Amino acid sequence: MDAITPTSTTTQAQAANKATSSVISSDFETFLVMLTAQMENQDPLNPLDSQDFATQLATFSGVEQQVKTNDLLSALTSQLLVSSMGDMASWVGMEARMAVPAHFSGAPIEIVSNPPNFAERAVLVIKNESGTEVQRIEVPVSDEPMHWAGVADNGQPFAQGTYSFEIEAYSNDALIDTHIPDVFARVSEIRTIDQTAVVVLEGGTIYPANSVTGLR
C-alpha cells in the first residue's frame, strides 16, 4: 500500500479547483445567454421589471461567490492535511498506543488494562474477529503494561488475526466497570481517507489518527 504524498494531494486539489472554475465560467455564460433570451422574448405588454433582472444577477453572483469560498476552504483544508501528514510521517515504524483491537501475528501483544483503583479484581476478555469470546484471564488491578501471549488455556497458540480486548472490573464479585484497554501496535503507514488522516497498523487495520493517545 502506497501512502498519499503531499505532492499528489496538492496536485489533486489544484486540478479540482481548475475544474470548478471552468464549470463556474461555463455556467455564468449560460446564465447570461438565458437572461438575454428572456429579455428578448418577454411580453412587450407586460415586461419584467428591471429590478427582477438585478435580483437574478445578484442571486447568481452570490451563489458563485459561495462556491469560490467553498473551494478556498477545501484548498486550505487540503494544505493543512498535507502539513499534518508530513508531521505524522515519523510515526511509521513506531508503536502507537490506542484503545482498539490488535493484530496477533504470533508475538505477544502489550496491553494496559487501567482498571478502576477501587476494583478488587480485573478480568481480561479476549474475542476473535467474529466477536466470539475465546479466553478470559485474571489480570492485576494495575495500570502497568502486561502482555497477552496469544496462547489458549490448553497451551495451543491462537490463530493469527485481529483480536479485541475488554477489561471487566469487579468489587465484591459484582461487575462495576467494563472498558476497552489500550494496546501498543506498530504503525506501518500514514494515509488519508475522505480528507481524514488515518494510521494503518500491522495487519492492515486502519483507524483515525486522532485515536492515537501515545507513541514510543
The predicted structure's pLDDT at residue 198: 87
Q: Which tops the pLDDT comparison, 193 or 135? A: 135
147 or 31, higher pLDDT:
147
Nearest to 126 by CA among 116, 113, 117, 115: 113
**Who wins on pLDDT, 40 or 81?**
40
Ramachandran region of residue 161, left (φ > 0), alpha (ψ -120 to 50) or beta?
left
Domains and CATH numbers, the chain: 95-184 (2.60.40.4070)
Quick count: other Cβ atoms within 10 Å of Cβ 146?
16
| Mean pLDDT over the full length of the chain | 79
C-alpha cell at 149: 501471549
Which of 5-9, 68-72, 74-78, 203-207 is modeled with the greatest confidence?
203-207
The predicted pLDDT at position 169 comes to 95
pLDDT digits (tens, 9 = 90+) for 172-187: 989 999 999 999 999 9
The count of residues in the chain is: 216
